[in-house]
Amino acid sequence: MSQQTNQSWGGRFSEPTDAFVEQFTASVNFDRRLFHHDIRGSIAHATMLARVGVLTLDERDAIIQGLGEIEREIEEGAFPWSVALEDVHMNIEARLTEKIGITGKKLHTGRSRNDQIATDIRLYLRDEIDAIDAELARLRDGLIELATREADTIMPGFTHLQTAQPVTFGHHLLAWQEMVARDHERLRDCRKRVNVMPLGAAALAGTTYPIDRHVTAELLGFERPAENSLDAVSDRDFAIEFAALASLLLMHLSRMSEELVLWTSAQFDFIDLPDRFCTGSSIMPQKKNPDVPELVRGKSGRVYGHLMSLLTLMKSQPLAYNKDNQEDKEPLFDTLDTVKGCLRAFADMIPAIEARADSMYEAARRGFSTATDLADYLVRAGVAFRDAHEIVGQSVAYGIEQGKDLSEMTLDELRQFSAAIDEDVFEVLTLEGSVAARNHIGGTAPDQVRAAAQRARDALSALMEARA
C-alpha cells in the first residue's frame, strides 16, 4: 500500500491507495509532456480569477511567479515528478504549494481536472497542428519545385500497374501535391474545432464562482468557450478527427512511398534517392535500400490503429467525464509524433530526388503507351471510336508478334489495319506528341504542368498568408 492518500482528493478515504492501483491509474509518465500547456492554462485561469475578484493581485502574482519557476525546473530536468500525485496537473500544483504555501491551493478554485485536461490537450494539439501545418507546406513546396523541374520529363503512366499512357514526371508529382493539399485543408479545418475552450466547465456542471470564460478564452487564444459544460469535459471528437485526417495523410504518404520503393528498384530504375535517405545490407554489400519510404509506408498502420483505438474508447461512454478518457493521450501523442516524423522525412527527401529521365523515357516507349493516341487519330479521321479501338487492338497484337512498338512500325505496316492512317500518324505516335496533345487544364502537357505548378504555388502562398 502507498503511504498516504492523495491529498487532492483523499479526504473521504479511510485507507491509502493500493500501490499497484496507484501505478496502474497514474498518467504522469506520459501526460507530463503537457506541462507547458498546463502551466499556460493555469496562468490564464489565475489571471481571470484575479479580474473577477476571487484572487487578490498579490495571490495572482505569486501563482504566476511560482508557475514560471516550476516551468524552468521542468525544462532543466530538476522537477521531482511523482507517480503518487497521478498526473501532470497535481504534480505541478503540489510543487506550487510547496513554493508559495496556501496560495498555491487556491489556484484550483473554479475548475476541475476534467476541464483542465481537456483544455491542456486542446492547447497542445493546436500547437502541434501548427507545427504539422508548417511541415505540410514544406512538403508541398518541395513537390511543386520538383514538378516544375521535371515538367518535360516523360514517364509511363500506369493503370493496374500496367503501362497505360505516357505522362510527365512533373504531372505525376503534382498528383501527389493534390493529395497533400487536401490533407492541408483538412488540417486547417480540424484546427477550428480544436480551438474551443473547455476551461470553466469544471467537473461537468460549471462552477458557482463568478468566472469570466471569455476572458480566459482570449488569454489562451481560443476562438470561444465551449457552449455546454457536459460536452466540454467529455468531448474527444477533436482528437478523433485529427487521427482521421492523420490516417488519410499517412495513407497518401504510403502510396507515395510504394511508388518510390518501386521506382528505386533495378527493375524500374526511374529515380535515385541520395544515400542519406537509404541504408545498406549487413550481408549483401551491393544493396541500397529505400528505408525511409519503406518505414513511412509501414507507419501508416500504427496511425490507423490509433484512430480505431480512439473511436473504440469513446463509443459507449455516457456523459460526462470517465476515467476511460485517460487512454486518449497515448494514441494521440504517438499519432502526432509519427505524423511529424514522416512529414519531416518526406519534406527533406522529396527535393533531393533525382529523376533518371532516360530510364523513364525508355519504359514509356514499351507497352504500346501511345495506342490511345492512335485511336484518337483514327476518330479524327472519321472512324467510329469502337472501330478505331478494334483497329488499334489489331495493330498492338501485330506489334507484340513482331516485337515492335507502334512508333517503330512503317506506314505500310500500320495501313494494313486501316486506310485512314497517313504519314502524319507518326506525329501522334511519339511520346512527346502524346503528352503535348493533352494540352488542357489538368492534362499532362508540359505547359499545363508548369501552369498547374504555378497555381499550386499561388494557392499554397495564399493559404500560408491566411494563417499568418
d(CA 441, CA 363): 26
Using DSSP bridges, classify how beta strands 224-225 and 196-197 pair: parallel, antiparallel or unpaired: parallel
Q: What single DSSP character describes residue 285?
A: T
**DSSP letters spanning 236-280:** -HHHHHHHHHHHHHHHHHHHHHHHHHHHHSTTT--EE--GGG-B-
Of 183, 31, 189, 193, the closest CA to residue 116 belongs to 31
**DSSP label at residue 409:** S
**Computed over its alpha carbons, how large is the radius of gyration of the chain?**
31
* 223 three-class SS: coil
- The one catalytic residue among 160, 282, 316, 440: 160
User: Which of 82, 265, 281, 461 is flagged as catalytic?
Assistant: 281
DSSP code per residue over 16-80? PPPHHHHHHH--HHHHGGGHHHHHHHHHHHHHHHHHTTSS-HHHHHHHHHHHHHHHHHHHTT---
Residue 93's identity, in one-letter code, is: E
Active site residue 281: yes
Q: How many CB atoms lie within 10 A of CB 468?
A: 4
Q: Hey, what amino acid is at 296?
A: V
259, exposed or middle or buried, with CB in 10 Å at 0-12, 13-18, 19+? middle
Under a CB-based contact definition with an 8 Å cutoff, are residues 44 and 84 in contact? no
Helix (H) or strand (E) holding 166: strand 162-168
Distance of CA 92 to the CA centre of its chain: 32
Enumerate the active-site residues.
Answer: 160, 281
